[in-house]
Amino acid sequence: MTQRARLLAANWKMNGSRADIARWLADFQARPPACEAVVFPPAVYIAQVAAALAGAAAQAGAQDVCEFTAGAWTGEVSAEMLVDVGARWVIIGHSERRASFGHTDPIVAGKVVRALAAGLRPIVCVGETREQREAGLTQRVIAEQLDAVLQRCTPAQLSAGAIAYEPVWAIGTGLSATPQQAQEVHAAIRARLAARDGAAAQATRLLYGGSVKPGNAGELFSQPDIDGGLVGGASLVAADFLAICAAGMQ
């Protein structure tokens, strides 16, 4: 265990209904985890999750945020609105948003700035594709994604949230990065933060995401620079997410 508190995040992506979520929350509340946990439902269900978790150790978050404030931005949801319905965290730059919705590095950086201004804690996602890894470009890709955000805010500001390393080839594939592969990238991320602000680098939680399951979570979380996880598929079943949280506390 490091001095950084464990953080486990459940990214439900575009899954669930009010009834599904009520059942999940009942299971979760019956055996609340010992670690800090954040649940990221689809935006329309944030208020339901936030209300149920009020007073609990867990909090609700959003899967994305608009980089603009109020106004003529049809279809978008502002940081202030997310805070208003109870979100305390937001995922920014998830690879699915980067790949399918045109979220470039500058857009991601703009979203981080807006989230921080509204008091939302950002989880900034970075990660390479399979082709980039095979071409030996992993470190460069991660550095570019991180530097784009660090052009607009400081490591100290980012330390209020977290950075998630999610190799694109490991997301939803069942093919997790090995603990060693993940640790190597996490250490590089921390070193890059430390080059700007050593104290902030030590304080920042670095999460691993990509096919985290109850069976592989313990080994991943035992790595010195892996401070928790951003869990997709396995977080849809409360018992599995709780087992992953428990693995993080061993």
Measured distance CA(197)–CA(191) in Å, rounded: 10
Cα–Cα distance measured from residue 91 to residue 97, given in angstroms and rounded to the nearest whole number: 10
Distance of alpha carbon 98 from alpha carbon 106, whole angstroms: 11
How many angstroms separate the CA atoms of 94 and 135, rounded? 22
Complex with ligand 13P: residue 28 or 197, whichever CB lies closer: 28
By CB under 6 A, the count of residues binding ligand 13P is 14
Q: What DSSP state is assigned to residue 236?
A: G
Of 197 and 205, nearer to ligand 13P (C-beta) is: 205
Residue selected from 171, 220, 226, 243 as contacting ligand 13P according to rule CB under 6 A? 171
Region from 100-108, 133-141, 192-200, 231-239 binding ligand 13P, contact rule CB under 6 A: 231-239
Which candidate in 67, 96, 128, 166 is catalytic? 166
Site string for ligand 13P, 86-125 (x = CB under 6 A): --------x-------------------------------
Smallest separation, CB 20 to ligand 13P (Å): 17
The answer to whether residues 200 and 155 touch, using CB atoms and an 8 Å cutoff, is yes
Question: Between residues 33 and 232, which has the closer beta carbon with respect to ligand 13P?
Answer: 232
Rounded to the nearest whole angstrom, what is the least distance from the CB of residue 210 to ligand 13P in the complex?
5
As given in the structure block, the two tokens for residue 151 are 């052009």
Sign of the alpha-carbon torsion through 133, 230, 108, 204: negative
**Does 127 participate in binding ligand 13P (rule CB under 6 A)?**
no
Output the residue with the shortest Cβ distance to ligand 13P.
232
In the chain, which ranges are E strands? 7-11, 36-40, 59-62, 87-92, 121-126, 162-165, 205-208, 228-231
> Which one among 210, 214, 228, 248 touches ligand 13P, defined by CB under 6 A?
210
Residue 186 a catalytic site member: no
Q: Which residues of 97-107 are buried (b: 16+ CB within 10 A; e: fewer)?
A: bbeeeebebeb
- Interaction mask 10-39, ligand 13P, x per CB under 6 A: -x----------------------------
Q: How many angstroms separate the first and last alpha carbons of the chain? A: 8
Q: Looking at 25-33, 76-84, 101-109, 166-174, which segment touches ligand 13P (CB under 6 A)?
A: 166-174
How is 32-76 classified by DSSP, letter by letter? --SSEEEEE--GGGHHHHHHHHTTSS-EEEES---SS-SSS-TT-
Catalytic (active-site) positions:
94, 166
Binding site for ligand 13P (CB under 6 A): 11, 94, 166, 171-172, 209-212, 230-234
